[in-house]
Structure 1
């Protein structure tokens, strides 16, 4: 596998987390605009991305392959929890 193929594989592996993170942060800002968040928008995107990539890496380690539906379900749950924490959801 050449370097370009390795880069494409890495980006394909990270794509679900890197797409879900800004989408969830934007949705949180659009749906609840009056709520004060603990971190700014870009901080929530960064937090969601880090949590999402960690969950994908743990799923790859646990199952030995990428693309398991259990990993994607855990990704959605973990990033939603990170968004809830970053937007101070417990204060509502």
Structure 2
């Protein structure tokens, strides 16, 4: 496998994790204004996106290891649930 193909495969593996992380954090900023606590755990949006992205990548790699190949819908569903839970924790929403 050439470097180009390896880079392409890795990019396509983590692209859904990046998209979900950025869209989740930005939509929580837009729609979660009423429920936002006064002092969240991670204050900046890019720090929240980076943490959610890292957790999403771990879920995708776990799905790859468990199922033997990527792209399973159960892995993507788990990624969305874990990302939402992670964002809930980062915002400190249990204190709201």
Q: Which of the five TM-score ranges fits, normalised by the shorter chain?
A: over 0.9
Structure 2 residue aligned with 1:4: 4
The Cα RMSD (Å) is 1.0
Structure 2 residue aligned with 1:72: 76
Q: Secondary structure at the match of 2:69?
A: coil
Alpha-carbon displacement from aligned partner over 1:27-56 (angstroms, at most 9, x marks no partner): 011112252322121111011001000000
1:38 equivalent to 2:41? Answer yes
User: Tell me, which stretches of 5 or more residues in structure 1 are unaligned?
Assistant: none
Give the structure-2-normalised TM-score.
0.91
Q: 1: distance between equivalents of 2:31 and 2:53?
A: 20
Deviates more, 1:30-39 or 1:54-63: 30-39
Runs ≥4 residues deviating over 4 A: none
Q: 2: distance between equivalents of 1:81 and 1:66?
A: 22
Give the structure-1-normalised TM-score.
0.94
Structure 2 residue aligned with 1:53: 57
Query: For this pair of structures, how many residues does the alignment match?
Result: 92
